[in-house]
Amino acid sequence: MNLALAHSRARVGVHAPAVRVEVHLGGGLPHFSLVGLPAAAVRESRERVRAAIVNSQLEFPQRRITVNLAPADLPKEGGRYDLAIALAILAASGQLPVQALSDCELLGELALTGELKAVDGVLPAALAAGALGRPLIVPAANGPEAALASGCRARTARTLLEALAFLRGEGALPDAERSVPAGAAPAYPDLADVRGQASGRRALEIAAAGAHHLLLVGPPGCGKTLLASRLPGLLPEASEAEALETAAVHSVSGRGVDLAHWRRRPFRAPHHLASAVAIAGGGGNPRPGEISLAHNGVLFLDELEWSRYTLEVLRQPLESGVITVSRAARQSDFPARFQLVAAMNPCPCGWAGDPSGRCTCAAEAVQRYRAKLSGPLLDRIDLQLAVPRVPPEALRPDAPRGESSAVVRERVLAARAIQLGRSGVTNAALSQADTEIHCRLEPREQQLLEHAMARLQLSARAMHRILRLARTIADLDAQPDIGHAHLAEALGYRLLDRQPQAPAFEGTKAPRRPLAGARRTRRGA
């Protein structure tokens, strides 16, 4: 037999399309051709495969070898096809029954010694192989990750010889097993650690109950980051399907899957120097960005020191839950259904509206500072809350502590159960049609909403988000209808909509104008 076929998987975004590895041994001078749109790392597999076969004391055929990776128009990258190419060559040269390769899929990079090395993107390949009912052979180092796909019969091999012996029927390969380090997973930070900030705790509970986006505005050190870090502890545990989606994103990111905590919802807090590509994803070979790594979890943007251009990349994923990275040669889709929690200072110095009156920023400077958040982006943030400075007496060791995360989480779970039983999704994910059905208002509440829209000049998108937020507040109260208090509270969370011109917090004085000397210095400059 001069022809053999093996099965493998490519990596395209979080998908793993099938690749047929076809090998033909022809006459003529010895030559090794590799076709099928291979990248440089794939072309170099010729030398890795040749050395691995020879150093495994097997015969490398001295014939004209043609390897085709089909489909030909699908770009192939990385060393993930080495094992399939090597075994197909051995089958075509009669050292392995051809039929042994017909019912399994192969992934793995070969070292020159014949040892199998780990590759990325194994979990999506295992999920795809399991959907077809095919077993998968992977390097031993990838076994715990492949085992996360419960529907896949994954086996692990350490060397090319082990895989060859198994396919010949001369040995057995161990099943892939989940390897979780000993010890309990660390607990989430407890909401009881947050002193004072009753309004912030309330907003955090509402955000967790309805999966709403949250913006915290306050001076330095008031507890914005402390509040944001407590949100994951209030969220329901991720389902296995959600956890697998998130793990698949991490699998193709090159960072690997945290096998000890793969069921935990991610909490991503990128540095403010991260670029738009780092946030959204990209590169020549597109990789997921921070918004995709936060899929089914929380993305925390602290201080919002990013440029307006970088922040604007959040707009479309906040609405659709998907980010499409387009390049000249290809497009890659990555899931990005995350919950945004952002924190920012009220002005450049951070003290606008503080009772101490220490802010010296001009009104124009405050407006420029807040202009980084465009109207369309603010429309997509359901809760916009002022977080004041905590009084010193609230920080005493003997000061009363608030409710723990466990207590608040019980109310969140109850509210989520109401939402899922009513519409199948959280309130934040309601479509426009479902919003009109499940968020109906009585005439008195409708009049209040229309009055607020006219006064604050709210958009239709903001109106629908206010309705969904009011629906969540009513669910926390276990009320079937949205009441006047629920709607009024939801409207109260549109902080920046209430202050389109004012730089200070509501109810506080505006910041002082800069000193005359400072104005003269700027004119002179």
Residue 329: predicted pLDDT: 67
Residue the block writes with tokens 């309601």: 430
Whether the pLDDT of residue 522 is over 70: the answer is no
- pLDDT at residue 499 in the model: 57
| Domains contained in the chain, CATH given | 3-168 (3.30.230.10), 186-392+400-414+512-525 (3.40.50.300)
Full DSSP string of 222-272? SSHHHHHHTSGGGSPPPPHHHHHHHHHHHHHTTS---TTSTTSPPEE---T
Q: What is the pLDDT of residue 401?
A: 85
Which pLDDT band holds residue 369 (cuts at 50, 70, 90)?
A: confident
Mean pLDDT for the stretch of residues 463-471: 95
- Tokens 């990248």 found at: 39
Q: What is the mean pLDDT of the chain?
A: 89
Percent of the chain with pLDDT over 70: 93
Taking residues 314-337, what's their average pLDDT?
87
465 pLDDT exceeds 90?
yes
Q: How much is the pLDDT for 370?
A: 83
Nearest to 248 by CA among 351, 125, 337: 125
The lowest-confidence range among 277-281, 350-354, 467-471, 498-502 is 498-502
Query: Does 519 or 378 have the greater pLDDT score?
Result: 378
Q: Give the CA angle between residues 305, 310, 314 to the nearest 5°.
A: 110
Predicted confidence band of residue 180 (pLDDT cuts 50, 70, 90)? low
pLDDT tens digits, residue range 36-94?
A: 999 999 999 999 999 999 999 999 999 999 999 999 989 899 999 999 999 999 999 99
| Range from 226-230, 452-456, 505-509 carrying the lowest mean pLDDT | 505-509
Q: Is the pLDDT of residue 263 over 70?
A: yes
Asked if residue 498 has pLDDT above 80, the reply is no
Under DSSP, is residue 200 helix (H, G, I), strand (E, B) or coil?
helix
What band does 391 get if pLDDT is binned at 50, 70 and 90? Answer: confident
Determine the Cα–Cα distance for residues 406 and 281; give it in Å rounded to an integer: 35
**Model's pTM, two decimal places?**
0.86
- Of residues 390 and 208, the one with the higher pLDDT is 208
pLDDT at 518 over 70: no
